[in-house]
Amino acid sequence: MRKTDTAVSNLPGYNNTTAQELVKDIRTLAMYGKTPFIDHLYKPLFNAGWHAEPAGQSRRKLIERLKRDSADPAYLHTIAPRCKKIICISMDESLGAVGDSSIFFLEKMQMHTAVSSSAEAVEFADIITPPLTGFTKVYSERREELFTEAVSSAHVEELKTAIDPVKLAVDTEKIKLDSEIQRLYENILIASQYYNIPKCRKLLSSYIIRYSDGEDYARSDVEKLVKAMNNRSPGFEDELKNTIAIDLYYKITQGILKGDIGTTITAIRKYGYIFEGDSSARYFYDIDRLERILYKMISDKSLWDDLKTVKK
């Protein structure tokens, strides 16, 4: 099997984790509406000259062709310039197209060092990082306000369901979990054969987030997989932890903005379970503040006894 250029990004100052965070920020930005999206993504790109005169080219066709060419190492050096062209074309299409094209470029940066180390990738990251960082700081306080409002109006049953860990006592559920870990092994084997490290990381992240707080979680199997991948690609374990933190942080933000208190609290609980009070974990202090808001509200309302007695 031919090994392709899909190792950890060597982009100066911008690694895989940074690219993942930028993807998360763009997706979060989109949830806040057109004005923040224009101010924090569209305008910075436009002002930096990332726009083009309409030339009748189809952005979608360019993306599809680029996806095909990405499998051939001979074309890797062309990906970054073409991604920039796609973004420039998207500027005259729609805000959604700008977001999608930006995320597409960031995902390619995670896949190929030839892309992440390119002049276009460095320029792109330098353009969008400051405004997106500014957006995150500005709206973090509002996010906490929304969370406080949601917790204060939540029903006891809703809080109970979100806080309780997953229990798998039924045989059919245990069989399902066993098949999931087997499927995880198989999918990681396939991805690793193509040296698709980002894919392996995503597979493990999704599995850990979904099942790690369950009574029958296959911890030893997961640890073996992580160790094997870390031996093959040094730094894999740290990048995996960052991926998990980024995914959970996005779920928390998405839940708050949608008013879905159950999803929000579940993601906060899973974060606490996975990282076990590790203050060095990404977003630890942001999520810790939300957790404190939750527990303070429960205490202020004297709901601890109610939460212990509510039946599922």
Q: Please check the confidence at residue 51 and state whether its pLDDT lies above 70.
A: yes
Q: Which residue has the higher pLDDT, 123 or 203?
A: 123
Collect all residues with Cβ–Cβ distance below 8 Å to 262 and sequence separation of at least 6.
158, 161, 162, 255
Domain ranges of the chain: 16-138, 154-309
Tokens matching residue 186: 């198989």
Cα(255)–Cα(147) distance, rounded to whole angstroms?
Answer: 9
Tokens matching residue 105: 């470029």
What is the pTM (predicted TM-score) of this model? 0.81
Q: pLDDT, tens digit, for every residue of 12-22? A: 445 688 899 99
Q: Which residue has the higher pLDDT, 137 or 34?
A: 34
**pLDDT at residue 274, rounded to an integer:** 94
Q: Could you write out the DSSP letters of every residue in 199-233?
A: HHHHHHHHHHHHHTTSTT--HHHHHHHHHHHHHHS
Q: pLDDT, tens digit, for every residue of 84-105? A: 999 999 999 999 999 999 999 9
